Amino acid sequence: MDVLARFHFDTTTRGTTVPMTPGLSLTAIPGQGTKRIRSWYLQAIGLLLYISLGTRPDIAFAVSYLARFANNPGHRHWIAVKHVLRYLRATYCNELLYARGSARITGVAGYSDTNWGACVDTSVSTMGYVFYIAGSAVSWSSKCQTQVADSTTDAKYLALSHAGKEGIYLSQLLEELHVKPVAPAHIFTDNEATATVARDPVRVSGTRHIRLHEHFVRDMVNQGDISLSHVGTNNMVADIFTKALGPKVFLTHCYALGLCTRHPRLQSDSHLRGGAGVRMSPLSARQDSRGLHAPLRAQHFVCEMVKKREIKVEYIATADMVLDILTKALELKLFA
């Protein structure tokens, strides 16, 4: 919220459902921006990069794309940055949730994708990847490739090599944390030809021009450090790091990344009131005379669960009771 306040975005600012308008295409035009816009633009991009790299993978593509124009931003570029800020205003409660499950962590899994020839100025492709541990994203990237790819297969193969290096690093990190045995980093791609090149390059002669150091992923597959699988385009989560998506697909991929919304009033214990006796008292009908009128034992179920410490009862003020929205019709101010 501090970032939003810095650019005069408050609770009355209209939000948006996606960080970037689908189909938006910006170009670098010399001399189009004022000194004031350039100052605002650089400040906003710096702050948004910090957020996108740390906790918000959903804005990674938008911020990476807009950062390309930091040298000479214009009015249209600044409008696009404000669109990202409006999205953050609408989703500032979103956070990555890492669930502790019964299954033991044995390795990392990720997705790699590319938007071939996406840049209108240079025709280079945009590539992205995301890796998961404990059900949510732990590492992600959205960036331009350094060379123009001749085909979709070439572009996705270069992206796969880029993602493979991160997968190897994360696997080594798990080994340092004494997670053994560590399974090969598993990467999903939506291009079968790309997986074929990585596994059996002899069958695909059209990739001989690719520089040798880009064949890193091939060596890692041969050594058993990386495994590959094909996934349908509709299930390619890394698509969110390569282009601006529509609301429906974007939201689906956000859920897949592990992003969820937590109510701001429940993020800390600051909403609690009263002493320890009120917050954790194992209430019973004997201790609270107001419960003596309950004739059925089943109605004291909660008392038994509190005694067994299977339920914890805490007090919050009525003004902070979120479930009030499920019990009555509220005024617009409280409802929103």
How many other C-beta atoms lie within 10 A of the C-beta of residue 26?
18
CATH class, range 95-261: alpha beta
pLDDT score of 100:
74
Q: Residue 171 class from Cβ within 10 Å (0-12 exposed, 13-18 middle, 19+ buried)?
A: buried
Secondary structure (DSSP) of 286-322:
TT-GGGTT---GGGGHHHHHHHTTSS----B-GGG-G
Instruction: Give the side-chain half-sphere CA count within 13 A for 159.
Output: 39
pLDDT score of 301:
65
pLDDT score of 270:
38
pLDDT score of 326:
84
Contact 178, 103 (CB under 8 A): no
Contact 73, 33 (CB under 8 A): yes
189 DSSP β-pair partners = 230
Compute the distance between CA of residue 77 and CA of residue 64 in angstroms, rounded to an integer. 13
pTM: 0.73
Residue type, 84: V
Question: Which segments of the chain does DSSP mark as H helices, in order?
Answer: 2-6, 35-54, 60-67, 75-90, 152-176, 192-199, 216-222, 247-257, 276-280, 301-307, 332-335
Compute the distance between CA of residue 41 and CA of residue 48 in angstroms, rounded to an integer. 10
pLDDT score of 102:
57
Q: Consecutive sets of 10 residues in the chain, 336 residues long: mean pLDDT of each?
A: 72 84 86 82 94 95 94 91 92 85 80 88 91 91 89 88 93 87 87 82 53 70 90 94 94 91 52 33 36 44 68 73 78 68
> CB neighbours of 120 closer than 8 A, spacing ≥ 6?
25, 27
pLDDT score of 330:
72
Question: What is the Cα 307 distance to its own chain's centre?
Answer: 40
State whether residue 29 is helix, strand or coil: coil
> CB neighbours of 218 closer than 8 A, spacing ≥ 6?
197, 198, 201
Using the structure block, give the residue that is written with the tokens 């109510």: 263
Contact 171, 107 (CB under 8 A): yes
Compute the distance between CA of residue 2 and CA of residue 13 in angstroms, rounded to an integer. 14
pLDDT score of 294:
41
Q: What does the domain layout of the chain look like in residue ranges?
A: 2-92, 95-261, 269-335
